[in-house]
Amino acid sequence: MMEKAKQMIDITIPKQIIRLMFLCLFMVINLNVGYAASRIKDIVNFENLRTNKLIGYGLVVGLNGTGDNFGASQFTKQSMQTLLTHFGINASQMEISSRNVAAVMITAELPAFAISGTSLDVSIASIGDSKSLQGGILLATNLLALNGTEYAVAQGPVSIGGYLAEGRAATITTGIPTVGRISNGAIVERELQLFFADRTSIRMSLKNPDFTTAKRITRTINAFMAQRVATTLNPNTIRIDRPINYRGTMVDLITEIEQLRVEVDQIAKVLIDEQTGVIVMGHNVRVSQVAIAQGNLTISISESPLISQPAPFSNGTTQEVQRTQLSVVDNSDNSLAVLDKSISLHELVDGLNSLGVGPRDLISILQSIKALGALQAELIIM
C-alpha cells in the first residue's frame, strides 16, 4: 500500500534560466521580423554618456610668410609679446613685424569617460588675416570647457587639407588652407568625475521621441529581465532601475539591455527640399481619394541669325538677318488621374509617376494635396 497517493514537487527555476529563455524567444522573433527591428543602443542616448566641447586660443608659428599681419591683427602681436615676456624677454617695447605667426582657435571633443593621458584630435582655425597654416606648429595651448575649467593641453604640427601657391601675378588656392587638424594633438589632464557603475538608476532618451517606440522599449526590457525595471516617463524618456538582487553593476545591466532589438515606429512625414528638388516620404504616408491633373505649357525660343553677303561687284552692304524659331508644347489635354482612398506610399508614387511629372511638379502636387487635407502626413518644407 502506498503511503502517499500524490506527491507535490516544487520546482524553482532560477531567474538566469528564465532570462535565457526570454533571450532565445527574442532571437526567434527577430529572425521573423528580419531587419525591421533596431538595437536599443542605436535608437536611444544614455544619460551623461556624451562628449564635452573644449575650446582654446593659441598661436601657430613657423609659417613661411603666410601668417597674420601684425599691423592689422593687433591681438596676434599682443599674444606674441605676452608669450615672449613669459620666457623673460621684454618685448613690450619691441617692434615685431613677423609674418610667420598666426592666431588660431582650437576645438576638441572630450569623451564622457576619458581618463588622464588620453589623446584627442583637435581642429585648428585661423582668426586673423593669415593666408595659410601650412607647415605651422601649434604652441602648447590650454583647452577649456565653457565653465572655464581646463581639461586638456594641445600642441603639435598642423596638417591642412589644402594648399596655397602664389606669385607676383597669380595665386592658386586649393581647399581651405587656413583650417587644419592635429591627430592626437591634445592630452587629457583632468578627468570628468562620473560615477556610473554604482548607480541604481539611469535614464534613456529616444533620438526620435515617440510614444509607441518608448512603450515597446519598456515592454522589451521588462520581458527580458522578467521583472519591472523599465518605466516610460514620456515619449522621450525611459528610466531604468537596477534590480536589488541584480549581481552585476549598472555597466553590466546596460550591456545586456542595449543589445535587445525593438521595432521602431515613426510619424508619417513628407520631406521636401525645394532648392534641390529632393522628396523623401515615410512608409506610413497615406492619401485620401483625390483626382489630379497636371498640365504644362512649354514655349521654346531660339535665335539663329544669318549673315547676308552682297553680290560680287555690287554696291550692297553686309547685313545680319534675324531668324527666330518658336515652338509651343501644351500638355493641358492630360486627363485626370484618380488616386483611390487611403493608398499606400508605393501606390502614391506609382500614381504620380503615371502622370509623367517631374520632381518640381511633384512638389507642387504634394503641397496642393496637403492644402486639400487629403495628405495624412506631416509636410516638412526645407
Q: What is the pLDDT along the chain (382 residues), one digit of tens a residue?
A: 444 444 443 444 455 555 555 555 555 444 444 446 889 999 999 888 888 899 999 999 999 888 888 877 888 888 888 888 888 888 776 777 778 999 999 999 998 888 899 999 999 999 988 888 988 999 999 999 988 899 999 999 999 887 676 666 667 777 788 999 999 999 999 988 777 788 889 999 999 899 999 999 999 999 998 899 999 999 999 999 998 888 888 889 999 999 999 998 888 888 888 777 777 877 777 777 767 666 654 445 555 677 777 777 667 677 776 665 655 455 555 555 555 556 665 676 666 666 666 677 777 777 877 887 777 788 888 7
The CA distance from 332 to 83, in Å, is: 75
Give the span between the Cα atoms of 56 and 155, in whole angstroms: 11
Rounded-to-integer distance, Cα 115 and Cα 226, Å = 36
For 177-202, how does the pLDDT look when each residue is reduced to its tens digit (9 = 90+)? 899 999 999 999 998 877 778 888 99
Q: What's the burial of 45, exposed, middle or buried (CB within 10 Å: 0-12/13-18/19+)?
A: middle
Distance CA 88, CA 85 (A): 5
Query: What count of Cα atoms within 13 Å lies in the side-chain half-sphere of residue 236?
Result: 2
Pick the closest to residue 135 from 99, 159, 105 (CA basis): 159
**How long a stretch of residues is the chain?**
382
Domains in the chain: boundaries: 15-48+195-263, 52-188, 270-307+320-381
Q: What pLDDT score does 174 carry? A: 72
Calculate ∠ Cα 268-271-275, nearest 5°: 175
- CATH second-level architecture of 15-48+195-263? 2-Layer Sandwich (3.30)
Hey, CA dihedral for 55, 58, 62, 66, is it positive or negative?
positive
Contacts of 129 (CB under 8 A, 6+ apart): 68, 69, 72, 73
Residues 241-267: tens digit of each pLDDT: 998 888 888 889 999 999 999 998 888
The three cell numbers of residue 324 are: 527666330
* Residues near 302 by beta carbon (within 8 Å), at least 6 away in sequence: 324, 325
